[in-house]
């Protein structure tokens, strides 16, 4: 995996936003490690991005350690880490009192605990870079307290808090940590959590009045990964077309 290009690992990049971000970053010159729990999809996107596939279940501490050890053996240094993997498109919506304990723990276990434990495992690879950057993909659903998604919204609010602490604890190490909060993004994956009518109403409420695609995240994430944001750390960049203003 020796390369002159900067290397970024994007989790959950076998499909959806992660795939779009992986391809967009590859177009911008990054060497992309396409990490996903789904080996086949990771390999397909890695081939499209001219990068490598990394198979990892971020909800498993052991899987995270094994993936990190494999990268270490290959001498990989990470200039960037985009923590994008989450349980999202497979979720069904319900009020918080109908979410059972198992489902709650599963969502928190991937979206929050998983992001924490993979980042922990990859710290040596990030420390090996001259200046590394972590971008955590949260959600603007936090800012609007989107109903019927309590486990998901809580996991993403927790991720924003984790980002702030990471930025503090990595201060002075040359590693920055920031979050992005996308609004609703249409991907190639169908989902039941938003209807066509809700998309239309949301678009009308945005300052930028069109639906978002994964490409809309690439610029903000590339900025946070690269040297142009060298003085930006511990921040949340909201990418929701101005659905919410902050
Ligand atoms: N699509 C949206 O409208 C939207 C809006 C705001 C935020 N987001 C966030 O953006 C990110 C991507 O969203 P998406 O729409 O592409 O979601 P998605 O459900 O289509 O894709 C999630 C990806 O994560 C992978 N994944 C799931 N569990 C994993 C695990 N344990 N280990 C490793 N990989 C795992 C899946 O295989 C899949 O490739 C998520 O963090 C999501 O919360 C999405």
Q: Are 59 and 113 in contact (CB under 8 A)?
A: yes
State pLDDT tens for residues 27-38: 999 999 999 999
Of 152, 170, 202, 229, the catalytic one is: 152
Nearest CA to ligand 1 atom 7: 139
From the CB of 57, is ligand 1 less than 6 Å away? yes
DSSP per-residue string spanning 190-205: --SSS-HHHHHHHHHH
CA distance 216 to 239: 8
- pLDDT averaged over every residue in the chain: 96
From the CB of 58, is ligand 1 less than 6 Å away? yes
Q: How confident is the model at residue 194 (pLDDT cuts 50, 70, 90)?
A: confident
Q: What is the pLDDT of residue 2?
A: 46
Percent of all residues in the chain with a pLDDT value above 70, rounded to a whole number: 99
Distance from Cα 176 to the centre of ligand 1, integer Å? 22
Report whether pLDDT(131) > 50.
yes
From the CB of 17, is ligand 1 less than 6 Å away? yes
Helices (H) and strands (E) in the chain, counts: 9, 7
Nearest CA to ligand 1 atom 18: 89
Q: What is the pLDDT of residue 193?
A: 82
Domains and CATH numbers, the chain: 7-239 (3.40.50.720)
Nearest CA to ligand 1 atom 12: 17
CA angle 91, 155, 144 (to 5 degrees): 85
Mean pLDDT of 49-60: 98
Strand partners, 31: 7
Q: How confident is the model at residue 3 (pLDDT cuts 50, 70, 90)?
A: low
From the CB of 139, is ligand 1 less than 6 Å away? yes
User: DSSP 3-state assignment of 215?
Assistant: helix
Beta strands in the chain (DSSP E): 7-11, 31-36, 52-55, 80-83, 132-137, 175-182, 236-239
Report whether pLDDT(133) > 90.
yes
Report whether pLDDT(1) > 80.
no
Provide the CB-side half-sphere exposure for 172 (13 A, CA). 2
Distance from Cα 136 to the centre of ligand 1, integer Å? 12
Two tokens at 205?
Answer: 């409420």
Report whether pLDDT(127) > 50.
yes
From the CB of 56, is ligand 1 less than 6 Å away? yes
Report whether pLDDT(92) > 80.
yes
From the CB of 113, is ligand 1 less than 6 Å away? no
Distance from Cα 83 to the centre of ligand 1, integer Å? 10
Strand partners, 177: 134
User: From the CB of residue 244, how many other CB atoms can be counted at a distance below 10 Å?
Assistant: 17
pTM here is 0.98
Q: Are 111 and 152 in contact (CB under 8 A)?
A: yes
Q: How confident is the model at residue 4 (pLDDT cuts 50, 70, 90)?
A: confident
Active site residue 149: no
Nearest CA to ligand 1 atom 23: 12
178 closest CA partner among 220, 128, 124: 220
């Amino acid at each position: 995996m020796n390369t002159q290009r900067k290397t970024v690992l994007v989790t959950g990049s076998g499909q959806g936003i992660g795939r779009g971000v992986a391809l967009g970053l590859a177009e911008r010159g990054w060497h992309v490690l396409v990490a996903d729990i789904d080996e086949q999809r990771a390999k397909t996107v890695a081939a499209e991005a001219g990068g490598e596939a990394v198979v990892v279940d971020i909800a498993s501490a052991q899987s995270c350690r094994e993936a990190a050890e494999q990268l270490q053996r290959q001498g990989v240094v990470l200039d960037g880490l985009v923590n994008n993997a989450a349980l999202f498109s497979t979720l069904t919506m319900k009020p918080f009192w109908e979410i059972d304990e198992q489902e709650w723990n599963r969502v928190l276990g991937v979206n929050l605990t998983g992001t924490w434990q993979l980042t922990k495992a990859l710290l040596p690879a990030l420390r090996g870079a001259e200046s590394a950057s972590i971008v955590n993909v949260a959600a603007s659903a936090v800012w609007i307290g989107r109903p019927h998604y309590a486990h998901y919204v809580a996991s993403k609010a927790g991720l924003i808090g984790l980002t702030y602490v990471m930025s503090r604890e990595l201060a002075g190490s040359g590693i920055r940590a920031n979050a992005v909060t996308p609004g609703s993004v249409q991907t190639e994956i169908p989902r039941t959590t938003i209807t066509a009518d809700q998309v239309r109403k949301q678009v009308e409420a945005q300052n930028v009045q069109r639906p978002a695609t994964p490409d809309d995240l690439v610029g903000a994430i590339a900025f946070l990964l690269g040297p142009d944001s060298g003085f930006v750390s511990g921040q949340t960049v909201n990418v929701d077309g101005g659905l919410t203003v902050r």
